Structure 1
Amino acid sequence: MTRTMTQIYDPGRTAVLLVDPYNDFLSEGGKLWPRLEGVATEVGLLDNLRAVVTAGRRAGLRVVFVPHRRWQEGDYEGWDHPNPTQRAIQERHTFALGTWGGEFHPDFQPAAGDVVAREHWAQSGFAGTDLDHQLRQHGIGHVIVIGLLANTCIESTGRYAMELGYHVTLVRDATAAFTPEMMHAAHELNGPTYAHTITTTAELRRTLENGEQ
């Protein structure tokens, strides 16, 4: 079910935030793909990510890449309290710089006019990066947050965006998580506490294609 308070997709004021579209997440052979594959396949993740990005570009929305820190030798060593995800990255070298897993999926490459924000170290695409600055400099007030993972970076980025005053749209089938329970928590329990709109790829595409801005 779609939860909508307002739908405002003014092309000059709206951006699609594509979070962590790395091979390690999205591609066969990626380090995290085996954990993600079940939910990703069930929701049609790859097709829906392609659909949202394509529809956004056709509607004149800005596409902003929101990448996680790509692991490098020495990352997190000597830290007082790296979080559990960071410890896991330290062990498995997820999204390692200079590797195939640390490259963006071939279907999600920056195009002319896109923005690539600085890499985030934890789960929010805003904390310690230039994302807020980039969005404000481009006049953005409404963000459509897609990518991975639903219950970590998507939730943290969306919640932070709300705190900063952005209108936030979540697209429930243009994201995925490791378990159905995590997806349920992200969209049914936590999402309604901060997102202005929770929709689906098909509904979002219809809205954009019909010019409901």
Structure 2
Amino acid sequence: MATYEPAITALLCIDFYNDFLSVGGKLWPWVKEGAEEANLLENLRTIVRAAREAGIAIYHVPHHRWEPGDYVDWKYPSPYQLGAAERQAFAKNSWGGTFHKDFQVEVGDIVATEHWASSGFPNTDLEHQLKRYGKEKIICTGLLANTCVEATARIGMELGFHVTLVRDGTAARSHEALHAMLDIDGPTFAHEILTTAELVSAIRASASASEVSAGQASSKPL
């Protein structure tokens, strides 16, 4: 069974923006069907709540918020970057570029610097923020499954982290894209691919075991 010791585990909340997760968001139509089928929003609420209760650190991993002039002078912007600029996705100082109301930053949370492409690691402080607090295991949730979630998780593995994906804690623009990430690509780099129920059970069991271990250590005579 997977274990998630609170002291060394971090929950990565990747791109929990209104544009992705809220009705009326610019990119909500991309994921609406899959998100509703998977009960994504409720699952994310359950995962975040379980992590907080267990003492697992919450790391917000935000995509770059669009501003006028983005990518104009770039030599090789990707199609997705150009599309984001055209749609003004996650526009800075806009409702769409604000974290969903149920996933606001709380005291003690870590907010990584914004990533410009898919992965939350390159050109950000995410790796540093994880390692400075001794986090070895990362649970990757959020959007999109086959872009930012996969890229963050894959590079996380390359950097030496234990990586968990959550089947119903993400969504994509199509069933095929989600299948490719979870069932074809994911097994090549992720250490665990769990459902929300399986993950929450493992988190709670690990937290209980950690409490028992801490109690036993404190009761030992000096």
Band of TM-score, shorter chain: over 0.9
Aligned pairs for 1:134-149 (under 5 A) are 134-149=129-144
Give the SS at the match of 1:152.
helix
Q: Residue 4 of structure 2 contacts residue 137 of structure 2 at CA under 8 Å; is this kept in 1?
A: yes
Give 2:26's match in structure 1, choosing from 25, 31, 38. 31
| Pairwise CA distance, 1:56 | 0.6
Q: Residue 120 of structure 1 contacts residue 126 of structure 1 at CA under 8 Å; is this kept in 2?
A: yes
| Structure 1 segments (4+ residues) deviating >4 Å | none
Q: Which residue of 2 aligns with 1:3?
A: none
RMSD: 1.0
Q: Residue 81 of structure 2 contacts residue 117 of structure 2 at CA under 8 Å; is this kept in 1?
A: yes
Larger Rg: 2
Higher helix share: 2
Give the number of the structure with larger relative contact order, counting CA–CA contacts within 8 Å between residues 6 or more apart. Answer: 1
Unaligned runs of 5+ in 1: 1-5
Unaligned runs of 5+ in 2: 211-222
Q: TM-score, normalised by structure 2?
A: 0.92
Residues in 1 aligned to 2:79 and 2:194: alpha-carbon distance in whole angstroms? 30
Residues in 2 aligned to 1:8 and 1:123: alpha-carbon distance in whole angstroms? 27
Q: TM-score, normalised by structure 1?
A: 0.96
Give 2:171's match in structure 1, choosing from 171, 176, 179. 176
Give 1:68's match in structure 2, choosing from 58, 63, 68. 63
Deviations 1:174-210 (A, max 9, x none): 0000100011001000000000000000011111222
Would you say how many aligned residue pairs link Structure 1 and Structure 2?
A: 208
Q: Residue 8 of structure 1 contacts residue 142 of structure 1 at CA under 8 Å; is this kept in 2?
A: no
Amino acid at match of 1:21: F
Q: Which residue of 2 aligns with 1:15?
A: 10
Q: Which residue of 2 aligns with 1:205?
A: 200
Q: Which residue of 2 aligns with 1:90?
A: 85
Residues in 2 aligned to 1:35 and 1:125: alpha-carbon distance in whole angstroms? 21
| Pairwise CA distance, 1:8 | 2.7
Identity of aligned residues (%): 53
Residues in 1 aligned to 2:112 and 2:2: alpha-carbon distance in whole angstroms? 25
| Pairwise CA distance, 1:34 | 1.1
Amino acid at match of 1:33: W
Give 2:185's match in structure 1, choosing from 177, 181, 190. 190
| Pairwise CA distance, 1:78 | 1.3
